[in-house]
Structure 1
Amino acid sequence: MTTLAAGLGAAAPAFAQQAPAAAAGDAVDTADAAGSVEELIVTARLQAERAQDVPIPLSAISGATLEQTGTYTLEDVQRRAPSFTAYNSNPRNSSVGIRGIGVSSASDGLDTSVGFYFDGVYLGRPGMALADLIDIESFEVLRGPQGTLYGRNTSAGVVNIRTRKPSFTPEAVAEVSLGSYGYNQLRLSMTGPLVDGLLAYRLTAFNTDRNGTLDNIKTGVSGNSIGRSGARLQLLVTPSENISARVIAEYSQEDDTCCVGVLTDVLSPAVGGAGTQRTLNALAALGYVPQGSTEYTQANAIQNMRTDQDALSAQVDWDLGWADLTSITGYRHWHFDPLQDSDGTPLDIIQVNVASTHTWQYSQEVRLASKPGRFNWQAGAYAFHQRLKDHYILNQFGYDAGAFYTALNRQTNPDAPEVIIAPGSQYIGDTRSNVTSWALFGQANFEVTDKLILTGGLRYTEDKRTGVTVTSTRGTPYVPTSIMFNYDTQVKGDNVSYLLSAAYKVTPDNMLYASYSTGYKAAGLNLNSAVSAGSPLVVDPEKVENWEIGSKNQFFDRRLTLNVSGFWTELEGLQANIALPGVRSFLANVGDVRSRGVEIEGSYDITPDLNVSANGSWIDAKYSSYPNGPCPVGKTAPCDLTGKRLFQSPEWIFNASLRYERDLASDVRGYALAQYAYRSEQEGTVQADPLTRIPAYSLVNLRLGARFQDGKYDLSLWADNLLDETYFQQVGTSSIVGASAYGISGRLGNPRTWGATLRARF
């Protein structure tokens, strides 16, 4: 059985000199005298340590657990770890939040609040991490500001994903899953020597498909289908005992109908005001009377999300004898090319509002780490460059556009002239952006006594971002919704961040820790929208102060793991993307934030065959100062949002699992896994509109299976969302550019799905 460290996530303090003798990135299983505990080795501090020995709030999910629970996406992971939220309105606008911070800041002109690292390489766009989590060694979530050990500075936390390395021991794993809605997933992993003792390889490939789960009564093509595939080739070179190099080449793509929403409610003019009434009347004049339903959508075009990315990285590790030198070089190209209906109605008003995006990034990191001892240290340098090319169809007008705007205008002026718009007319923008960043960072641990360790870290960062946007029109777009803007600007800055912490080993299995750290997220640029009054072109940086206290414990020969952490975070100048009804979204600093809370993670091996795991968090994330904020529907700006909860930040999160195994025959071991996840209600928009609040929901997953021939074969039956709960991932207002909000829309989570998985090892 696995403890929380190897299962649903555990946080733990760390003493480097007590880490097992393993290279960073290797997974090592260690067992107590009873042989009942399997520990996951993590690299949260860029060295191999037991998860229970790392003095920061950390959730670590092993690759084996990802496979056993069918966890293959970021949305799945958020139901395995506390304080973690994945937001995906489309691949370009996806983002991740930790402790309520970071979910609303995905944009061409901003960095991310939560840093993603894939095999040591920072990912400049969250959409780069949306490929299936296949052949993973571990998935680590580090909560709180990180920067004194990682290449890029982050204000909310880090997601550190490591894939399985090549091995000189030959092995092949094949897996096939079939399920409802035409679900099928194929996975293959092969590893072994090419030149014994010198060169090994690992090849990983996957393909995941599923039909749509949301009916479209207009087109007949269901929405929210899945279509992802990819491959990864790794080479491990070991020319000597003290030098190794790992080269990784990968390619992945997505082609599906992701992220289609439904109209859940129609706004009452008594709430939305005269503008809502005029919009509803204009829609009715064209034959469309909106009706709320979670059963279907009726957009008149297919929403097609298409991405592809390729990457190449190399990590070289050199044991110098007195220290270890590591170099990580990375390149990645990400391309997003969507098609989607942008008015959300069966009418052909706004055909397209999309951005075709190319992003190229290059990074180089060099680290030097001392050997374990009473005083140990790490120091590093990091350089990052990102180049972006964006062709944005801000609006493409359809066959019903002229009639709609004419009907809208004539409600206030019956003599308003007819609006003439040629179908296919476009309001477009082209953006070029460059980001350059470099940093020096370091961290050191000093063992004051055999129980007390003090840690200090320091980082200096310089960032520069340039951006050019040129807008233009084609045909005869509707002028009031096609505001010309041309930008040629830049912003640069620097920052010093630091960490101070203390960890005290009460016993070898019980630790107390406390820390104070600062974080930083570079300034951004508002590149893809006309700046409304009061919205500056330059978005100021985020600056964070964070206090942590925690305890990590194991009892009963390490059969029981219990970790508790408390935090208080103050952030100045939260960066966010604000979307208002009928107005193009824009970037801004949305005020100051205070996030505080408690996180608990636990796991108990009741017997060698029965394990129960649970984790949860209480998060009080609010605007501490936001007197001039955007307003909910029906309110006149500005609105004082001070004291309101942050966007996509549930107050309560609770996850639990129960796993039972037993021998069914001489060479057959059966197992049952039940999982439960709960999220309390949360705000669906930055302006904390009660109409767009996401209701609380609970999900139950069940998996029954058996392993044969000493684990060579594994067959399981599974059901996700077993109780067929109707729940929402996102909620917002429905509007057409140039008109007022007329309804509330949301993106549903997956309905009940079921299937079977067969895995074979050779």
Structure 2
Amino acid sequence: MRGLRNNGESLGYSALLALIVAGSTSTAHAAESDADTNASADSQIESVTVTARRREEAVQDVPLAVSVLNADTIEQTGTINVGRLTQLQPSVQFYSSNPRNSSVNIRGLGTPFGLTNDGIEPGVGIYIDQVYYNRNATATFDFLDVERVEILRGPQGTLYGKNTTAGAVNITSRKPTFTPEARVELTRGNYDYIQSKASVSGPLIGETLAGRLSASYTSRDGTIYNTATGQHINELDNRGVKGQLLWQASRDFKVTFSADYTEQDPIGYGQVWAKTGSTQRALNRQYDALAAASGNYQPPSFNPFDRLTDLDSPLTAIQQFGGASALAEWNIGSGQLTSVSAYRKWDWGPSNDRDFIGLPITTVSANPSKQRQYSQELRYADSGDKIDYVVGLYGFYQTVDTSGVQEQGPLASRWLLSGANANDPTILNGLRSENDIGLKNTSVAAFGQLTWHITDDLRLQPGLRVNYDKKEGKYIATVTNATNTPLTSAQRGVLAPQSYEPEFDDTNISGDFTVSYDLADDVLAYVTYARSFKSGGINLSGLPLDANNQPITAVETVDPEKTNHFEAGLKTQLFSQSLTLNLSAFWTDIDDYQATVTNSQANVIRGYLANAEQVRVRGVELELSARPLDNLNVFLNGAYTDHEYVKFPDAPCPPELSGGTAASAANPPSAPGTPGGFSPPSCDISGQWLPGVSKVALSYGFEYDLPLNALGPEGGAYFAFDGSYRSKFSSNPSRSIYTDVSGYSLANFRAGARFGDGWNVYGWVRNAFGKDYFEFLSTQSGSTGLVVAQLGDPRTYGLTVNKSF
């Protein structure tokens, strides 16, 4: 598939997608353009329908903090996947060093910041066409023929398949239609960016069977140059296809069958040298001295925004993601019974450079993984004059099998050992750990939510969920050295043989209660309390070691998170519905917060899991959209988030307090960054920031449409801008002076023309002012003081042409 990267074949693939549409245009009817993408004399903001409460209703009638992005917004702003939502939704955070190690958070909560551990659940649920996707890697896949995306903020456990304690991203695809239609889109941009999308839909057998076929392809050269291999890395190379069949068996019964397959095969993901800082390791064992002793090594640039690296281990990130589902909807009595049956698979084939520089320290780091998941959901929903309700059952089963490999190179002794051992490369060269990791994850639940209309204006909405989770795992690390002799203590201190089989099971009861009241025709107020749980877990990345280099089995399992959530909101439409203003205020306390941590061992590359005693996240959010003129739409979304570890007295220490001799009563901890100093065994980070969360985040923009009759009915030109801002945030589990990421703003522009016959042509530029910014910073293992960076995209620009038939 890598041959598709050359220009001719990439364009050929784009043309192939277009052919999906070409055969249907002779019979397809010209579809009407969506109301919110054309100039209109009506100054009202169009009503948006969502299914956030598992039934269709206007978003302004839902007593919940929910945001909606329609297909046109998604496509025209370049929001190609869940990860790109951060530029439009201030409450969403996304960080990824590679697809497996991705974090999708809402209001700062969801997935522990850092390297992924298969033994726990994400706290933000990603649902595509009502199917729960267990892996955050889903966030890196291109949207495929999406109709809308709903972002639900706050606990959603009483209605959504898994107990989503932080929120949910609910993605709805365009469905098969009995009216023939087709869409095609082609994009060309700098960095040899090519994206093509196509879909066709229509009847197959009268008014009984309809089908839809969609495909997409995205390719872009990498934005970082690897001087060691002569390749550009961190590229895009994605392709996907989805087919759907709608069987309308009767007026009251229909089934939608879906199957999809997506593949990614980029050269990525790599980081760049960012800076160095002092730790408490001995001075001759910190980065500058180690680099000098390793042949006076220097990175290709000391300016990270030169976008140069010299990673000497192979970089691959192959993903194959697919599955099938059957969504059956049956009108029974006054309500509807829904069944969602699904199978998903995810195969992950990575290779990384985990020492982050062009030296043979860790020469192999790969954790290929295969996941299979099966889920079944049954729901019955009914709406009456006084009572609306949804009740359901949910079952989920998942297996994960990972075969990890880590091997040390000829300079590993120099960088990871001390004393005379540091000068003997044979000690660690060829030291190899082969890991056999497995997970069986079972979850079953019964849930329900009821809305009682006490009066036309006042409603009470209680919800309840009973959940059972069971996890069984294994972790077997077989460590060998180059001479096939018994391991020495120095070797065990770097790669420790381990074998354990953790288990966890638990039953919990979640609930929420919402009171909503219509203060006026277009003014809704609500208050909510939720008590929810995020399933406990098991450590599947290896256990920390004690002073004798033995695994600490007491931390095999991780307790469930326990959430108390309070929220109040106001949803309004004013001035004849030409202005929408929504406000929400929230306060979330979590006991036994699941955090990714490390220990003081020099070998730790993958973190393990632990519970922080308590964290708190609270804040306010604003959503404003207005149409002050018939042809002008503006929006402003904002979030202020106050976040902290309320109590975490035994947290891992930040880099500046790590790597030294163990402190004692006679030798208290040294000042941060003291070479050769004394390091505490743990640090009290109570009161410090959570990682990955900005206190202030904004998104804003406008679109102006100029009707032009010369372009046909409803044709016209338009100009649009969207921007975003995020203030400083910490990118280390324990806040460090070296890994705070400065705030930044991004600006995107687009301008184009819509034609009355369905054509839309526009040019775009993203990160228009070429802002240099870090997505996050991380540190090299072993307390060397090296800080590496994941870079945000540079300025990109291009031209997009699409047409609806």
| TM-score, normalised via structure 2 length | 0.87
Is the 1:221–1:302 Cα contact (8 Å) retained in structure 2?
A: no
Is the 1:582–1:740 Cα contact (8 Å) retained in structure 2?
A: no
In structure 2, the partner of 1:693 is: 740
Distance 1:293 1:119 in 2: 44
- Residues 56-100 of structure 1 show CA distances to partners (whole Å, capped at 9, x for unaligned) of 111111112111222112232111113110121111111211111
| Deviation larger for 476-485 or 172-181 | 476-485
| Deviation larger for 679-688 or 296-305 | 296-305
In structure 1, the partner of 2:460 is: 454
| Deviation larger for 374-383 or 121-130 | 121-130
Distance 1:139 1:275 in 2: 52
Is the 1:661–1:670 Cα contact (8 Å) retained in structure 2?
A: yes
Question: In the alignment, is residue 729 of structure 1 matched against residue 775 of structure 2?
Answer: yes
Tell me the SS of whatever aligns to 1:166.
coil
Aligned mate of 1:591, from 613, 623, 639: 613
1:702, CA displacement in angstroms? Answer: 0.4
1:524, CA displacement in angstroms? Answer: 0.5
In structure 2, the partner of 1:104 is: 112
Question: In the alignment, is residue 526 of structure 1 matched against residue 539 of structure 2?
Answer: yes
In structure 2, the partner of 1:412 is: 419
Aligned mate of 2:655, from 605, 609, 633: 633
Question: In the alignment, is residue 714 of structure 1 matched against residue 760 of structure 2?
Answer: yes
Q: Which blocks of at least 5 consecutive residues in structure 1 are unaligned?
A: 1-26
Distance 1:284 1:540 in 2: 45
Counterparts in 2 of 1:386 and 1:356: CA distance versus 1, 3 Å: same
Distance 1:78 1:172 in 2: 30
1:74-473 to structure 2, matched below 5 A, reads: 74-104=82-112, 106-268=116-278, 271-274=279-282, 277-287=285-295, 288-289=297-298, 292-294=302-304, 295=306, 296-393=308-405, 395-398=406-409, 400-401=410-411, 404-406=412-414, 409=417, 412-413=419-420, 419-421=426-428, 423=430, 425-473=431-479
1:649, CA displacement in angstroms? Answer: 0.7
1:632-711 to structure 2, matched below 5 A, reads: 632-635=654-657, 636-637=679-680, 638-667=682-711, 668-710=715-757
Counterparts in 2 of 1:521 and 1:368: CA distance versus 1, 3 Å: same
| Deviation larger for 80-89 or 537-546 | 80-89
- Residues 447-468 of structure 1 show CA distances to partners (whole Å, capped at 9, x for unaligned) of 1111101100111000000001
Distance 1:208 1:191 in 2: 22
Distance 2:374 2:515 in 1: 35
| Deviation larger for 175-184 or 663-672 | 663-672
Q: Which amino acid aligns with 1:731?
A: L
In structure 1, the partner of 2:12 is: none
Distance 2:422 2:152 in 1: 61
- CA-atom RMSD in angstroms: 2.1
Distance 1:413 1:43 in 2: 65
Counterparts in 2 of 1:415 and 1:87: CA distance versus 1, 3 Å: closer
Distance 1:157 1:418 in 2: 49
Tell me the SS of whatever aligns to 2:55.
coil
Structure 1 stretches of 4+ moved >6 Å: 27-33
Q: Which amino acid aligns with 2:68?
A: A
Distance 1:457 1:419 in 2: 62
- Residues 20-52 of structure 1 show CA distances to partners (whole Å, capped at 9, x for unaligned) of xxxxxxx99899994733222111000001111
Distance 1:379 1:657 in 2: 40
Distance 1:612 1:79 in 2: 16
Is the 2:516–2:524 Cα contact (8 Å) retained in structure 1?
A: yes
Q: Which amino acid aligns with 1:753?
A: T
Distance 1:680 1:407 in 2: 35
Instruction: State percent identity of aligned pairs.
Output: 34
Distance 2:509 2:81 in 1: 34
Aligned mate of 2:521, from 508, 511, 525: 508
Q: Which amino acid aligns with 1:306?
A: I
Counterparts in 2 of 1:319 and 1:276: CA distance versus 1, 3 Å: farther
Q: Which amino acid aligns with 1:325?
A: L
Distance 2:447 2:426 in 1: 59
In structure 2, the partner of 1:483 is: 496
| TM-score, normalised via structure 1 length | 0.92
| Deviation larger for 586-595 or 442-451 | 586-595
1:475, CA displacement in angstroms? Answer: 4.5
Is the 1:282–1:408 Cα contact (8 Å) retained in structure 2?
A: no
Distance 1:276 1:750 in 2: 36
1:359, CA displacement in angstroms? Answer: 0.4
- Residues 133-188 of structure 1 show CA distances to partners (whole Å, capped at 9, x for unaligned) of 12111111111111111111121111111111111111111111000001000101
1:275, CA displacement in angstroms? Answer: 5.6
Q: Which blocks of at least 5 consecutive residues in structure 2 are unaligned?
A: 1-32, 547-551, 658-678
- Residues 544-593 of structure 1 show CA distances to partners (whole Å, capped at 9, x for unaligned) of 01000010000111110000000000001111222466423111113311
Counterparts in 2 of 1:275 and 1:139: CA distance versus 1, 3 Å: farther
Distance 1:302 1:39 in 2: 50
Distance 2:384 2:284 in 1: 66
| Deviation larger for 469-478 or 223-232 | 469-478
Distance 2:45 2:413 in 1: 67
Size of the aligned set, in residue pairs, is 724
Tell me the SS of whatever aligns to 1:65.
helix
Counterparts in 2 of 1:241 and 1:472: CA distance versus 1, 3 Å: same
Aligned mate of 2:46, from 38, 54, 58: 38
In structure 2, the partner of 1:577 is: 596
Is the 1:365–1:382 Cα contact (8 Å) retained in structure 2?
A: yes
Distance 2:436 2:173 in 1: 36
Question: In the alignment, is residue 66 of structure 1 matched against residue 74 of structure 2?
Answer: yes
In structure 2, the partner of 1:23 is: none
